[in-house]
């Protein structure tokens, strides 16, 4: 959607919300508001005006609240953020436009009052909204309208700049705030999937450990009288910068400040990202086709995966198909949607799910076959460990169950790869499959299906008749999968 279209949509939302009898102040997030009565805030605003005037050629701005302003701290041990800033942002001559306590309204005022004057950066990183849903006690809609207003203002004032919009970080201030924050993030993922000027990135997963918020990487719980985790500590802020770095580097047209292989502090398999690898098809066109077809059909079965799923058969039609007869054998005339994308990893599937590909779908069965590409690294993504792959698969299953609780998930173990048993991927695949059993064997609504023994010969070699390239099944290989699914459907 172009700027005028987005501006019109924003105005319609503002009119709608302002006219609401139940929430007469619902547009407060989008009304510019200063804090000049606070001396430090006024002084910081003046300092920022001087900084942008002195560095009009800066390629990077960071806009936000205290989480962004914190990069200026160097207080050991919990608030030592300067090393992280220098590694990822200072070395790029970035300017910090974070103001503690700001809401979208305050950020809007600052943008409208000179803080972008004379600059035209390549990228603006925006992290704002947690104070809207926190101290300001605003609703999800109020916060969404405020963030939309910020984005629209940036699009107008910086027409050649790309906006990297970060989702609200998780906190433990209250269950109510957490629920609102999640609603805001779902909205941002959906709305900004179609905007070429904006890249939305949800890095929430790096703050969780074993399904629960990891308060140990926030400094607030170690402060006297603080209600709960809100601000990442030294380690948490570094993990956050690492999680953002691959996407930021791509938007800046640079190599990451740290090599992908060294970024082991974060599980990249859990961070939703769009296409990572260029393949033999148009990834984005297929995504749009999935959105359109999903709205028109009511599939009884949905397959989710990578090229192994993509190249089987079904709709949307792929240019390369390996197993149409086996597809007919497995599904016959049943309504089936194929959400397989060549070269996808778990992080790509998470992005697609959060961008609407599974919205309003409630199939009888969901077949998930993903993770093999996570085990291979490229310049675009490092190889994941087996444990990281399983965490990514678990997050996918969680997303699917949240959207369609009554659907049964058939979780495929990773298919064997490489013709010889000594192939370097055999052991990590074996370990992933072992962990899948340990994690999901007794999970209600999820059934694990392992085809490894059916694909491999007695000497553990992989017959070319079943996988001609050592990765993708032939029709004979898909027939093995089809037979296993027919058993699993019972």
Residues 66-81 have a mean pLDDT of 98
Q: How far is CA 28 from the centre of its chain?
A: 28
Contact 163, 199 (CB under 8 A): yes
Class of residue 388 by CB neighbours under 10 A (exposed 0-12, middle 13-18, buried 19+): buried
Helix (H, G, I), strand (E, B) or coil at 408: strand
Q: Which of 175-179, 192-196, 295-299, 408-412 has the lowest mean pLDDT?
A: 192-196
Percent of the chain beyond pLDDT 90?
A: 90
Kindly state the helix (H) or strand (E) to which residue 69 belongs, with its residue range: helix 66-69
Which pLDDT tens digit goes with each residue over 121-170?
999 999 999 999 999 999 999 999 999 999 999 999 999 999 999 999 99
Q: What pLDDT score was predicted for residue 26?
A: 54
C-alpha distances in Å from residue 206, one per residue of 143, 238, 239, 265, 440: 23, 11, 7, 9, 22
121: left (phi over 0), alpha (psi -120 to 50) or beta: beta
CA–CA distance, 151 with 153 (Å, rounded to integer): 5
| pLDDT per residue as tens digits for the range 344-397 | 999 999 999 999 999 999 999 999 999 999 999 999 999 999 999 999 999 999
Gap between the Cα atoms of 50 and 372, Å rounded: 51
Structure tokens at 161: 């700049």
Residue position matching structure tokens 């009554």: 406
Is residue 119 within 8 A of residue 290, CB to CB? The reply is no
452 alpha-carbon distance from chain centroid: 30
Please check the confidence at residue 4 and state whether its pLDDT lies above 50: no
Q: What percent of the chain has pLDDT over 70?
A: 95
Domains 3-266 and 283-488 share a fold: yes
Would you say 59 and 53 are in contact if contact means Cβ atoms under 8 Å apart? no
Mean pLDDT value across residues 192-211:
91
CATH architecture of 3-266: 3-Layer(aba) Sandwich (3.40)
* Residue 421: pLDDT over 90: yes
Strands 60-64 and 123-127 turn out to be parallel
The per-residue pLDDT for range 270-310, each reduced to its tens digit, is 999 999 999 999 999 999 999 999 889 999 999 999 999 99
Which residues have a Cβ under 8 Å from the Cβ of 9 and sit 6 or more positions away? Answer: 1, 148
Query: Which candidate, 241, 219, 134, places its Cα nearest to that of 177?
Result: 134
Domain range annotation of the chain: 3-266, 283-488
Q: Does residue 62 have a cis peptide bond before it, meaning omega lies within 30 degrees of 0?
A: no
Largest CA distance in the chain: 78
pLDDT digits (tens, 9 = 90+) for 107-120: 999 999 999 999 99
Helices (H), 208-355: 234-252, 283-296, 307-310, 324-331, 346-354
Query: What is the dihedral sign for C-alpha 266, 272, 274, 277?
Result: positive
The arrangement of secondary structure in 283-488, i.e. its CATH architecture, is 3-Layer(aba) Sandwich (3.40)
pLDDT at 15 over 80: no
Q: What is the pTM of this model?
A: 0.89
Pairwise CA distance, residues 253 & 425, whole Å: 32
Q: Under a CB-based contact definition with an 8 Å cutoff, are residues 17 and 30 in contact?
A: no
H or E stretch covering 163: strand 162-166
Contact 82, 147 (CB under 8 A): no
Backbone φ/ψ region at 78: left (φ over 0), alpha (ψ -120 to 50), beta: alpha
Q: Tell how strand 95-98 and strand 79-80 pair up.
A: unpaired
Q: What is the dihedral of CA 327, 464, 450, 418, to 10 degrees?
A: -130
3-class DSSP assignment, residue 323:
coil
Question: Tokens at residue 296, please?
Answer: 């028109």
On whether the CB atoms of residues 353 and 399 are closer than 8 A, the answer is yes
Burial class (CB within 10 angstroms; exposed 0-12, middle 13-18, buried 19+) of 476: middle
Residues in the chain: 490
Q: What is the pLDDT of residues 203-227, one digit of tens each?
A: 999 999 888 999 999 999 999 887 7
Q: Cα separation of 438 and 44, whole Å? A: 53
């Amino acid at each position: 959607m172009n700027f005028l279209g987005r501006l019109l949509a924003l105005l319609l939302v503002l009119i709608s919300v302002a006219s609401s009898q139940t929430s007469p102040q619902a547009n407060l997030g989008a009304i510019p508001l200063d804090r000049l009565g606070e001396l430090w805030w006024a002084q910081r605003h003046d300092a920022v005006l001087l900084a942008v005037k002195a560095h009009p050629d800066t390629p990077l701005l960071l806009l936000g609240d205290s989480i962004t302003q914190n990069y200026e701290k160097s207080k050991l041990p919990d608030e030592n953020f300067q090393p992280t800033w220098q590694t990822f942002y200072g070395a790029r001559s970035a300017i910090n436009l974070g103001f503690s306590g700001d809401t979208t309204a305050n950020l809007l005022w600052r943008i409208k009052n000179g803080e972008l004057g004379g600059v035209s950066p390549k990228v603006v990183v925006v992290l704002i909204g947690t104070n809207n849903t926190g101290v300001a006690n605003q609703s999800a809609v109020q916060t969404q309208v405020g963030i939309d207003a910020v984005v629209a203002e940036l699009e107008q004032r910086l027409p050649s700049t790309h906006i990297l919009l970060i989702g609200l970080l998780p906190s433990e201030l209250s269950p109510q705030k957490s629920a609102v924050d999640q609603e805001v993030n779902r909205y941002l993922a959906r709305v900004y999937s179609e905007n070429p000027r904006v890249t939305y990135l949800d890095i929430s997963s790096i703050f969780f450990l074993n399904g629960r918020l990891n308060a140990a990487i926030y400094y607030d719980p170690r402060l006297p009288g603080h209600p709960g985790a809100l601000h990442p500590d030294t380690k948490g802020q570094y993990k956050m910068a690492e999680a953002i770095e691959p996407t930021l580097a791509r938007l800046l047209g640079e190599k990451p400040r740290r090599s992908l292989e060294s970024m082991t502090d974060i599980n990249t398999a859990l961070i939703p990202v769009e296409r990572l690898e260029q393949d033999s098809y148009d990834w984005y066109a297929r995504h749009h086709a999935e959105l359109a077809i999903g709205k028109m059909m009511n599939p009884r079965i949905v397959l989710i995966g990578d090229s192994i799923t993509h190249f089987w058969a079904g709709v949307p039609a792929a240019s390369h198909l390996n197993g149409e007869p086996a597809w007919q054998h497995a599904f016959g005339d049943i309504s089936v949607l194929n959400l397989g994308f060549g070269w996808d990893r778990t992080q790509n599937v998470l992005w697609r799910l959060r961008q609407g590909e599974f919205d309003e779908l409630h199939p009888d069965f969901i077949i998930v076959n993903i993770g093999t590409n996570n085990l291979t690294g490229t310049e675009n993504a490092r190889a994941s460990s087996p444990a990281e792959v399983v965490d990514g698969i678990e997050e996918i299953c969680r997303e699917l169950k949240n959207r369609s609780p009554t659907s049964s998930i058939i979780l495929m173990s990773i298919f064997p790869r490489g013709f010889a048993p000594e192939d370097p991927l055999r052991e990590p695949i074996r370990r992933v499959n072992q962990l899948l059993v340990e994690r999901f064997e007794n999970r209600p609504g999820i059934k694990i299906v392992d085809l490894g023994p059916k694909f491999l010969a007695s000497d553990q070699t992989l017959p070319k008749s079943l996988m001609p390239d050592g990765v993708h099944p032939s029709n004979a290989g898909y027939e093995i999968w089809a037979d296993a699914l027919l058993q699993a459907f019972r």
